[in-house]
Structure 1
């Protein structure tokens, strides 16, 4: 089973859509600090979904803890420049619904 960690609020319900596709979904609490990510099992996760561009510091932290993790930014907001060199797939919830995104990620 694939594992996904969600950082940020999830008003579109991507977590539920990922669970429906067979992912085990955990959530990084608070501001997705290193400790929050570790507690959410980022080290063994296959996927990090960031739903709040304000939590972008979680991206390099996740990559440091798990070099093979796929990272998806599911937000209408732009990511800050400091994550520009990271491999991040950005998707706008206004353009792609949670079910379509979950299906593509599965």
Structure 2
């Protein structure tokens, strides 16, 4: 994968770890609403990373804008039920560090 969009604060530093793996990383600003995702060029992304479940509404939006984007939730929190039908890879930062995740995703 070569392009990723991250929504959320990314306290574990997954974005930086992805950059170290050669991935181009853009950040969805604000609440990762449709305009925020479009500004971050989600339509060109291979990967969408959510680090804050409070922004989970961005998952169906990202998929609507880019049906082929791979979605990863990198958070210790459970995803809300409404995203249960979405194909999302969930990873807990307490179990997998950012470097290992970035290596797997790149």
| Cross-structure match for 1:60 | 60
Secondary structure of the corresponding residue to residue 43 of structure 2: coil
| Cross-structure match for 2:80 | 80
Whole-Å separation in 2 of the counterparts to 1:60 and 1:10: 20
Whole-Å separation in 2 of the counterparts to 1:22 and 1:87: 25
* Deviations, residues 35-82 of structure 1 (Å, cap 9, x unaligned): 000000000100000000010000000000000000000000000000
**TM-score, L = length of structure 2:** 0.98
**TM-score, L = length of structure 1:** 0.98
The runs of 5 or more residues in structure 1 that have no matched partner are none
List 4+ stretches of structure 1 deviating above 6 A: none
Whole-Å separation in 1 of the counterparts to 2:5 and 2:70: 10
Secondary structure of the corresponding residue to residue 100 of structure 1: helix
* Deviations, residues 3-37 of structure 1 (Å, cap 9, x unaligned): 00000001111000000111000000000000000
| Cross-structure match for 2:9 | 9
C-alpha RMSD of the superposition: 0.7
Q: Which residues in structure 2 correspond to 1:26-105 (within 5 Å)?
A: 26-105=26-105
Secondary structure of the corresponding residue to residue 44 of structure 2: coil
Whole-Å separation in 1 of the counterparts to 2:30 and 2:12: 19
The runs of 5 or more residues in structure 2 that have no matched partner are none
